[in-house]
Structure 1
Amino acid sequence: MSAVIILALVTAQRLGELVLARRNTRALRARGAYEVGPDHYPLIVVTHAFWLATLWWLAPGRPTVWPLIGLFLLLQVGRFWVLRTLGTRWTTRVIVLPGEPLVTGGPFRFVRHPNYVIVAAEIAVLPLAFGLWKVALVFSLVNAAILTIRIRTENNALSRC
């Protein structure tokens, strides 16, 4: 039962973030922003959707490793720190707003791409919290491949700002 509650909360959070990202993307585009490298975006969406679907399929009824759920909650603090730092500039796509300086405050003082570090950890930690190490491994490898494309795309776009 705990897996169902946890997955329902994570699913609701992710859906809420998609709404926020869509709103921020529209607002940024209205200010003259443009998207860079949209071709890889469907890969990100499919990976995250399959990750969650796999957890919904396999995790219910399995024992919960509560210290790992605690670590996952700590990662959410980092996620909210990133969202708060970026504010209306946070989106799930690579959106460039010409003339705007790079964000260098908050977690960006320590890591160039803190959101990707957090997402990579989440993709591993949540399955592990239900004893699903194979799910953690497979999706971590897929995510790493996609993030390689994403970070390269984002770094190229940001270097032109």
Structure 2
Amino acid sequence: MSFASGILALVTLQRLGELVLSRRNTERLLARGAVEVGANHYPFIVLVHAGWLTALWIWGRDQDVNLAALAGFLLLQGLRIWILVALGPRWTTRIVVLPGAPPVASGPYRYLPHPNYAVVVGEIALLPLTLHLPRLALMFTLLNLAVLAVRIRIENRALSVSDWPRTSTP
């Protein structure tokens, strides 16, 4: 197995683990009376992320690794963990709001309204650059920005409802 394949395997396992965690957290939130908002856009987010990983496996699995870009990607993983810890059981890949719960204002949410989206934008660009695939970085960054523009608009509208906190990240 090449170094690039090892990196892709770890990222793939991370994303699968996040989907399991997201499903569990979503089910628990819904059981507590939470509501999912904007579910119609979710398949497009899944498509972009699945396409990104698939393209990386197809064209990047045997590439040399740019260590500087990899260091940036690893730094983003630290930020991702900080976000997961800050949101705890309220983290999900969907937009799920729990009426009456106070907004999360700790961790990176003290500084940015949507820190996970900033991390995801960086990841979508940096991992292909780590594998010397600048065209994939550009293509998926643009696709991701398009779906995030829709998602952030929906999430901001949902969060503007009185007493509805941040409860989601992709």
Report the equivalent of 2:44: 43
Instruction: Give runs of aligned pairs for residues 109-128 of structure 1, distance below 5 A.
Output: 109-128=110-129
Cα deviations by residue, 1:84-134 (Å, 9 ceiling, x for unpaired): 000000000000100011111100011100000000000000000111000
* Distance in 2 between residues matched to 1:59 and 1:69, nearest whole Å: 13
Report the equivalent of 1:26: 27
Report the equivalent of 2:134: 133
Taking structure 1 as the reference length, what is the TM-score of the superposition?
0.99
Question: What is the Cα deviation at residue 60 of structure 1?
Answer: 1.9
Secondary structure of 1:136's match? helix
Question: What is the Cα deviation at residue 67 of structure 1?
Answer: 1.3
Report the equivalent of 2:154: 153
Q: Which amino acid is the alignment partner of residue 128 of structure 1?
A: L
Size of the aligned set, in residue pairs, is 161
Secondary structure of 2:158's match? helix
Q: Which amino acid is the alignment partner of residue 9 of structure 2?
A: A
Taking structure 2 as the reference length, what is the TM-score of the superposition?
0.94
Unaligned runs of 5+ in 2: 165-170
* Distance in 2 between residues matched to 1:16 and 1:105, nearest whole Å: 24
Report the equivalent of 2:167: none
Percent identical among aligned pairs is 55
* Distance in 1 between residues matched to 2:61 and 2:37, nearest whole Å: 38
Secondary structure of 1:100's match? coil
Runs (4+) off by over 3 Å: none
